[in-house]
Amino acid sequence: METIRMIFKRIVLLSTVVVIATFLLSLLMRLLPGDPAAVLVPNAPEELRALIREETGLSKGIFGYYWQWLSGMLQGDFGKYYLNGGYRPVSEVLKKCLPPSLFLILYAQIVALALSIPLGLISAYKENSRFDRITSSVLFTAVSIPAFASGIILSLIFAVQLGWVDPIGYESPFGNPVEHFKLMILPVTSLAIGLTSSYTRLLRTDVIATLKEDYVTMAASKGISNKRVLWKHVFRPSSTTLLTSAALNMGGLIGGTIIVEIIFVIPGIGYEIAYSIGARQIVAMQTLIALVSFAYVFFNSTVDLITNITDPRTRERRV
Amino acid sequence: MAGSGKAHMRPDGDTVLTVEDLTVEFKLGKDKIVKAVSGVSFDLVRGETLAVVGESGCGKSTLGKAILQLPKPNSGSVNFLSTELTTLGKKELRDMRPAMQMIFQDPVSSLDPRLPVSEVLAEPLRVWKRGNQVEIDAKIDELLNAVNLDPKVVRDRRSYEFSGGQCQRISIARALALDPTMIICDEPVSALDVSVQAQILNLLQDMKDRYGLTLMFISHDLAVVKAVSTRVMVMYLGKVCEVAPPDELYQNTKHHYTRALVASVPIPDPERPISSGFIQGEPPSPMNPPSGCRFRTRCPAASEKCAAEEPQLREVAVGHFVACHHPIEE
Amino acid sequence: MSSTEQIATTDIAPVQKARKKRPFGFYLAGFWVALILFLAVFGDFLPGPQWDESFYDSLGVAPFHQSHILGTTLDGYDMYSGLVHGARLSVFVALVAVIVGGAIGTVIGVASAYFRGKIDVVITMAFNIMLSIPNLVLSLALISVLAYSDENNPASTTRRVGVLMLSLTIVIIPILGRIARGATLQWSSREFVLASKSMGTTNFTIIRKHILPNVAPAILAIGFLAIGSVIIVEGSLAVLGIGVPGGGSWGSMLANGRGNIAFSPWEVYLPAGAIALTVISCNWFGDYVRKALDQRESKI
Amino acid sequence: MSSLLKIDGMSVTFATPRGNLRAVNDVTIELLQGESLGVVGESGSGKTVLSRATMGLLPGTATRTGTITYNGKVISELPKDEVRELWGTGMAMIFQDPMTALNPVRRIGSQLTESLTVRLGMDKKAAKLKAIELLKRVRIPDPESMLRKFPYQLSGGMRQRIMIAIAVSCEPELLFADEPTTALDVTVQAQVLDLITELRKESNMAMILVTHDLGVVAGHTDKIAVMYAGDVVEYAPTRQLFSNMKMPYTEALLKSIPRLETPTGSRLPVIEGRLPDPTKNEPGCPFANRCPYVQDKCRAEKPPLKDAGNNHFYRCWFPIGGEK
């Protein structure tokens, strides 16, 4: 009962955040000087502009416009790109650009978690050892290198100079899986560098804190092996922050992949956002950003909800 | 009681503080309400030390803070120096604050770690514009000397350079800075080692005599209370059980809860081990207290009457009040 | 008082001066930041080639050339003076965004956590809304709208820089605001705040004297990290073609050089290195402040 | 009765940024089977370090010297893995704060059965039955539903009972109880102490009870070691200690405890001064600067542990009541 009420509360909160965020976005779009239709289709004749104003609701004032956009979204009409006289529905573009981004994020997350969980656990367990210090400084440097720099440099070395893989492009995993993975190696690496660093550091800090807890000493005093203490008693309570942050990144990364997608020319959602902004396709841009924001908030609340239900400590705080 | 009643009030005395039917409740989530203090009445006569004793969750700390309106109680009246505090406006309440001060349990957390001692003590004086810098400096030295700290040594140090006992001395000095009438001491020695405990208790006594203070001393430890108090009030789950002078209370215990508390005090004597015989179990949740007498679920003498009817405080000996339907007979 | 209770001076533990040996990295990071700040301020007065002048006689020369110490771009622009000039823009933008955004965020966050209640709910929600849009996307959107220009009326470089700073400032507000809010929640539950309140100190004074000084180190630590991220966002925007145009910042140098990477890779390596070193230094300082803070906390 | 634990000349130092901190100095203690020893001292006396060091639960910054013999076997030189074999089944520990000593994310049942399945090799079903029996032994009502609960659902007293159940689950011969009741209310403290004593009687389990409260050890131990600044300054059978104390520090500590008999408004005796700096090695008796009976010799030379007969030892040049 309490759980259902909590879920309901989350849904209300989530919708409020998304509605306000998207409303502010449309407000922002309306701040553009002059006629928005002229922004969308700069060189079109006035009749076409009038048609577009009518179709998008831009003729109706801010609330009318927002309402039309929102009800369109809810019915699956995501708006259109208006370009060069023709147009493309955003939903059609989405169908094409979502999979590459999702694969990219998924792989980067898997790689980052697979590396950071053992690294974080070991370097915390051996705090201040040589292993810990080397890992820490390498990761510290890695997290400071921006994705665009690592991306460009990786592609220069491995694609241009060594010629091991193609520097740019994307293949569907269903058509050509080998090529798909080959093309994904560099972008995934440049995304995963930063992720691995931050995950490892998060986990290390939490594990160090957990190792100082009485209940870990208590578990050790039962005479069970160090390995068992580490996995059964230390990892679970220390992993909350890591998993929360990993899940939050699922939303955040959709926007965060922009740079990587641009550098490696992967037709993903980040690429599309950059494109729509560059081409001043304000309707498409609003839709895409709204989806990213929704994804972020959605993952945020879901993670929160799951930890609330599964982690007894959050319940303890409520009691 | 744990019951209510006002038989123990002394309307004719030179009262500094009169608390009537004070109730404090906290909301925890939608329909969870913690009934921390439920209709407590008592008064403080000038120059006395009232000890409020009880286990965790009995509402003693909440009571102390509610008197200072931090935060305001849900209902009831707090009359301090003939001024009703609960209905005062923000500014008028602020004007009353110098006369009523508080000392907290955690000696370290009650001092700002960033401020040197001189600043900690200067703050109340500056807030109330008590003199210029020279006068303030003189006052700080006087306060530090009063609590037996050498001003030359401690003035420029910060709280983390001191032991718990020394921090508590600084807290006492700060509470004294504004020449208060009443000080509420919330477990001032429970975080300290026994040897230091004694120093602080002695210091509080000295300060009380020297500055003519009225003290409310909140503690969980009956033995500590015995040394410093002139009147003891035992609380259980937000209600008053028994009120009496300390000697009377310990020698002629009337309430079953008080007896259990007395019996549980660890005595450093191998011939007299502490006894858990009088009550079993742990206090129920203050979110859902028992009906009638709140102690009845653990009381060896509980009857049906205790569930139906809340006992009122009544006088059983001179100055000795108990809220119980079946008080202990000698 | 009885003489047995005189608390002698010897009673107070002597101050334990921890040996303040700063780690080597402190000086390294400090040196780099000082160098960058120096170049940002005085760079234009130093001798050397003009940053926006193209040397047609030496296109794309490698570093360690006699007249172009760090080489030139394929278009003949001097790398050294470009980096010096870029330092000014990159650092200036980052500093302004973090200081202004941090100040606003701190005020909002502290007030929100100190007073709690409805204000807190609204402000927390506002922060969440702003944080729900990835910061690169948010600054992209802000810039594309605020620095809008059409062919007849192109936005000037100054205006673009202004818009860039404004957008980054807006991005910083919720990030540091949330830190300030969290730290304030922690500190305002300490008993010394209650003690101060019980003496009749006003809320404003409590915030000024007790909350802000204690919250400041946490904000400073995150502030350093934020400078690093702002520099990265600025670079990312430039790579996307929306930053400062014309090679005016490190990011836009890197963006311009991307196409020439196979011929003159230093066009990418040098600005990328400058950005990475500055970010590392900022992160390093942030980490240093955080560690010092943790140590202090453990003493308190 | 035969000797269960013998600590011979144990010292523990911690490496700190301010230099080596001596937490325990040359402590020698012997415990017979089924016997209970109270270790009493104020904060900073080294009492907690003593118990953890004996068990081998020290952090990496600590160095331990001296010999520890357990059941006739020297365990102080054993590798960690072999010492660990003793934990739980030979020596078990209960901790001060029941709020932090149970894993917050695991159910009571899994924490309670862990030693049973891992250490004793029981299958799940047998372990569950044994767990229910253990919960009954520590007087927990409705043990079956307790197994499914999380620590946050329990009061401090209940958690402390659970912790005791975990500690005794493998029938250890020696129980370390580190301030087991300090975090509890007085009425609950009395119940928990009685419970521990009862469990000890049932299975002839020895105990080292670490506490700051002379009142707690008085009724629940056979002998007492009083610690001050890392030294055991007095070591005697409980009754002997209280009736015939030799050490001025023990006397001062006892006197400073407020009692119900204390007349109202009276001044409590205090111990002035403070503990010496544990990172410095100053000559003389560490209590000298606080001792009411101090003489020149005390400041110059540290007293050795002296024998007063009847298993009573003390560390003082000028003991109360004179030598012997």
pLDDT in tens, B257-300: 999 998 888 888 888 777 766 777 888 888 888 999 999 998 98
pLDDT at D91: 93
Q: What is the mean pLDDT of residues B304-312?
A: 92
Q: How confident is the model at residue A304 (pLDDT cuts 50, 70, 90)?
A: confident
Going by the DSSP 8-state scheme, the letter that residue B283 receives in this structure is: P
Domains and CATH numbers, chain A: 100-281 (1.10.3720.10)
- Closest-CA residue to A259 (of C275, C174, C147): C275
Phi, psi of A164, deg, nearest 5 = -70, -40
Q: What is the mean pLDDT of residues C262-280?
A: 85
- Angle between helix axes A282-310 and C117-131 (nearest 10 degrees) is 120
pLDDT at B258: 93
Question: D145 is in which domain, residue-wise?
Answer: 98-169
Q: Over 80: is that where the pLDDT of B14 sits?
A: yes
pLDDT at B169: 94
Which has the higher per-residue pLDDT, A132 or D271? A132
Q: What is the pLDDT of residues D140-157, one digit of tens each?
A: 888 999 999 988 888 888
Which has the higher per-residue pLDDT, C204 or B283? C204
Domains and CATH numbers, chain C: 89-299 (1.10.3720.10)
Which has the higher per-residue pLDDT, A252 or D284? D284
Cα D78 to Cα D86: distance, rounded to the nearest angstrom: 11
pLDDT at C227: 92
Cα D164 to Cα D95: distance, rounded to the nearest angstrom: 9
Q: Determine contact, residues C174/C105, Cβ cutoff 8 Å.
A: yes
A315 vs D: CB within 8 A = yes
Residue D259 structure tokens: 């009692």
Q: Over 60: is that where the pLDDT of B187 sits?
A: yes
Amino acid at C163: V
CB–CB of D17 and C18 under 8 A? yes
Residue D34 structure tokens: 């089924």
Q: What is the mean pLDDT of residues D206-221?
A: 91
Q: What is the pLDDT of residues D52-70, one digit of tens each?
A: 999 988 887 889 999 999 9
Q: Over 80: is that where the pLDDT of C70 sits?
A: no
Amino acid at A177: P
Please give the tally of structural domains in chain D.
1
What percent of chain C has a predicted confidence (pLDDT) above 70?
83
Q: Over 70: is that where the pLDDT of C148 sits?
A: no
In D, minimum Cα distance to B163 occurs at D274
Q: How confident is the model at residue D81 (pLDDT cuts 50, 70, 90)?
A: confident
Q: Which stretch of C127-131, D37-41, D243-247 has the lowest confidence by average pLDDT?
A: C127-131
pLDDT at B10: 85
Chain B residues within an 8 Å CB radius of D260: 222-223, 226, 250, 262, 265, 267
B270 vs A: CB within 8 A = no
Q: Measured between alpha carbons, how far is residue B72 from residues A14, B6, C117 in Å?
A: 35, 22, 16
Partners of chain A (3+ Cβ pairs below 8 A): B, C, D
pLDDT at A306: 81
| Other CB atoms within 10 A of residue D177 CB | 29
Q: Over 60: is that where the pLDDT of C2 sits?
A: no
Q: Measured between alpha carbons, how far is residue A39 from residues A58, A63, A93, C148 in Å?
A: 12, 20, 20, 10
CB–CB of C13 and D274 under 8 A? yes
C-D contacts at Cβ under 8 angstroms: 20
Chain B residues within 8 angstroms (CB to CB) of chain D: 55-56, 163, 193-195, 197-199, 201-202, 205, 220-224, 226-230, 245-247, 250, 260-270, 272-276, 279-280, 282
A223 vs D: CB within 8 A = yes
Q: What is the pLDDT of residues C222-232, one digit of tens each?
A: 899 899 889 88
Phi, psi of D308, deg, nearest 5 = -100, 10
Q: What is the mean pLDDT of residues B203-217?
A: 94
Q: How confident is the model at residue C285 (pLDDT cuts 50, 70, 90)?
A: confident
Partners of chain B (3+ Cβ pairs below 8 A): A, C, D
Q: What is the mean pLDDT of residues C117-124?
A: 89
Residue D310 lies in a domain: no
pLDDT at D2: 86
What residues of chain A, 5 to 64, have a C-beta less than 8 Å from chain B? 5
pLDDT at C97: 93
Cα D222 to Cα D39: distance, rounded to the nearest angstrom: 11
Task: Tell me the average pLDDT of chain D.
Answer: 90
Q: How confident is the model at residue C134 (pLDDT cuts 50, 70, 90)?
A: confident
Task: Tell me the average pLDDT of chain C.
Answer: 80
In C, minimum Cα distance to A157 occurs at C262
Q: What is the pLDDT of residues A193-215, one digit of tens each?
A: 989 998 998 899 899 989 988 89
Q: How confident is the model at residue C153 (pLDDT cuts 50, 70, 90)?
A: low
Q: Over 50: is that where the pLDDT of C6 sits?
A: no
Residue D148 lies in a domain: yes
Determine the residue among C33, C144, C146, C234 to mutate to test chain A binding: the one whose Cβ has the most chain A Cβ atoms within 10 Å: C144
Q: Over 70: is that where the pLDDT of C133 sits?
A: yes
Q: What is the pLDDT of residues C194-203, one digit of tens each?
A: 999 999 899 9
CB–CB of A280 and C144 under 8 A? yes
Cα A109 to Cα A199: distance, rounded to the nearest angstrom: 10
A35 vs C: CB within 8 A = no
pLDDT at A188: 93
CB–CB of B112 and C210 under 8 A? yes
Q: Over 50: is that where the pLDDT of B225 sits?
A: yes
Q: Over 90: is that where the pLDDT of C208 sits?
A: yes
Residue D211 lies in a domain: no
Residue D279 lies in a domain: no
Please tell me which of A241-245, B308-312, C37-41, D279-283 the model is most confident about, judged by mean pLDDT.
B308-312
CB–CB of B226 and D215 under 8 A? no
B29 vs A: CB within 8 A = yes
Residue D301 lies in a domain: no
Chain A residues within an 8 Å CB radius of C279: 144-146
Burial of B129 (0-12, 13-18, 19+ CB in 10 A): exposed
Q: Which stretch of B177-191, C61-75, C167-181 has the lowest confidence by average pLDDT?
A: C61-75
Q: What is the pLDDT of residues B227-249, one digit of tens each?
A: 889 999 999 999 999 999 999 99
Chain A residues within an 8 Å CB radius of C284: 140
Please tell me which of A66-75, B91-100, C158-167, D184-193 the model is most confident about, judged by mean pLDDT.
B91-100
Cα D25 to Cα D50: distance, rounded to the nearest angstrom: 10
Q: Over 80: is that where the pLDDT of A255 sits?
A: no
pLDDT at D156: 86
Determine the residue among C11, C22, C299 to mutate to test chain D binding: the one whose Cβ has the most chain D Cβ atoms within 10 Å: C11
Cα C132 to Cα D131: distance, rounded to the nearest angstrom: 48
pLDDT at B3: 56
Q: What is the pLDDT of residues C182-198, one digit of tens each?
A: 999 989 888 899 999 99
Q: What is the pLDDT of residues A259-274, one digit of tens each?
A: 889 888 899 888 888 8
In C, minimum Cα distance to A273 occurs at C137
Residue D118 lies in a domain: yes
What percent of chain A has a predicted confidence (pLDDT) above 70?
95
Q: Over 60: is that where the pLDDT of D235 sits?
A: yes
Q: Measured between alpha carbons, how far is residue B90 from residues B81, B144, C50, C201 in Å?
A: 17, 31, 65, 12
Task: Tell me the average pLDDT of chain B.
Answer: 90
Q: Determine contact, residues D256/D248, Cβ cutoff 8 Å.
A: no
pLDDT at C12: 53
pLDDT at B1: 41
Q: What is the pLDDT of residues B142-161, one digit of tens each?
A: 999 999 898 988 899 888 88
Q: Over 90: is that where the pLDDT of A312 sits?
A: no
Q: What is the pLDDT of residues D273-309, one digit of tens each?
A: 777 888 888 889 999 988 989 999 999 999 999 998 8
Residue D238 lies in a domain: no
Cα C189 to Cα B70: distance, rounded to the nearest angstrom: 12
Q: Over 50: is that where the pLDDT of C112 sits?
A: yes
Q: How confident is the model at residue C1 (pLDDT cuts 50, 70, 90)?
A: very low
C-alpha dihedral (B71, D186, D51, D127), degrees to nearest 10: -100
pLDDT at B5: 77
Q: Which stretch of A186-200, B51-65, C16-30, C90-104 has the lowest confidence by average pLDDT?
A: C16-30
Q: Over 60: is that where the pLDDT of C10 sits?
A: no
A179 vs D: CB within 8 A = no
Reported pTM: 0.85
Q: Over 60: is that where the pLDDT of C9 sits?
A: no
Q: How confident is the model at residue D111 (pLDDT cuts 50, 70, 90)?
A: very high
